[in-house]
Amino acid sequence: MNSPYLTEEHEMLRAQVRRFVQEEIVPYGDQWEKDGETPRSLIRKMGELGMLGVRFPEKLGGSGMDVLSWIILAEELGHSTYGGVTTTIMVSTAMAAPHLVNAGTEEQLKKYAPGIISGDLLCAIGVSEPDAGSDVGALRTNARRDGDDWILNGTKLYITNGSNADLVFVAARTDPKATGARGVSMFIVEKGMPGFSVARRLSKMGDHCNETAELVFDDCRVPAANLLGEEGRGFYATMQNFQGERLVVAAMAMGEALTALQLTLDYTRIRKTFGLPLIERQVVRQKLAMLHAKVEAGRQFLYHTAWLDSQGMNPIQQVSMCKAYCCEVVNEVMYACQQFHGGFGYMRESKIERMVRDARLHAIGGGATEVMLDEVAKRWDEQIY
């Protein structure tokens, strides 16, 4: 991609991840779809190659790169056509781990960061609940102080990596009198802590090589040392991390959309109807051309917004626009690409069939499109230019 925002280091990362995807993911993804999860061996290989620590500070063993490195990582993993693999990796390293990096104490960073960077520790975010998805202020999971511990009670639902995660960064209300955004704190909950259990693994429409779970905290005893960040400031920490998360989801969407277009272009060049390749039909090639233009517009907007974020500008409105636009476009692309694949596109042996199912999540996870558009609208002044 020609972009004024990318450095030689960015391009080297792209080449490295692209090679890795073709050698270590594409040949094995079908089996992982059947297994229902991405193997830890793959994640550890990525750790060995330094891919999981691109945004960790150098003093912690990372590369200290900017948010554009996440965009490249997510986009290139998206080219694999296995959305569940991308989700597993990006949720752990780019959506959950930043809670630790941004708010962790020196002791917490020393204890957990090396394992996350190496791929030995898989992370999840425990925010969504049965009655509180994108509405973080409505969560009901609570925590009360008991001596040197906190006691957590509640349920978390739709937790990506939930049943396999070694660490879950859990949002819980620590002030029972507070409502909305106030009185929410974050905790580091380790697998195996008393009172923490996986209620069930959930069956999903797509992302089959990623596992999603319902988590239960029943008088779960968490050491006070595992309070992450300032007590009562968990909502604001979550909102801060949502910015990077939403850019990453948009990048996943754009990587998948580009690959779907390439697969469809290849297919329509060889598939003939009534004596002509499909690509010779004006309606087909013009539709694909317009979709290509939309994807390119999304990518340019994505890279620009990520650059604004890397400059410390906190572009909340642009991030919300980008997340909404890119995740709607990828679904438009998938629908058209499946249509042009005809009956084959409806078969499980078709990559497009899997990609259609996987891509549907992007307009829901990390903030539904409707929530994103409200985030845009509430930042309008009387004029928008």
Residues noted as catalytic: 245
Give the CA radius of gyration of the chain. Answer: 21
List alpha helices for the chain, DSSP H. Answer: 8-20, 29-35, 40-48, 67-78, 83-90, 97-103, 106-118, 234-270, 282-310, 316-341, 351-359, 369-377
Those residues whose C-beta lies under 8 Å from the C-beta of residue 367, and which sit 6 or more positions away, are: 134, 242, 246, 320, 323, 375
Q: What is the DSSP string of 1-48?
A: ---TT--HHHHHHHHHHHHHIIIIITTTHHHHHHHTS--HHHHHHHHH
Q: Which residue has the tokens 């005809």?
A: 342
Task: Single out the residue of 241, 302, 250 nearest to residue 97, CA to CA.
Answer: 241
**Distances from the Cα of 282 to the Cαs of 140, 285, 334, 345, 377, in angstroms?**
54, 5, 19, 20, 38
How does strand 123-126 pair with strand 167-173?
A: parallel
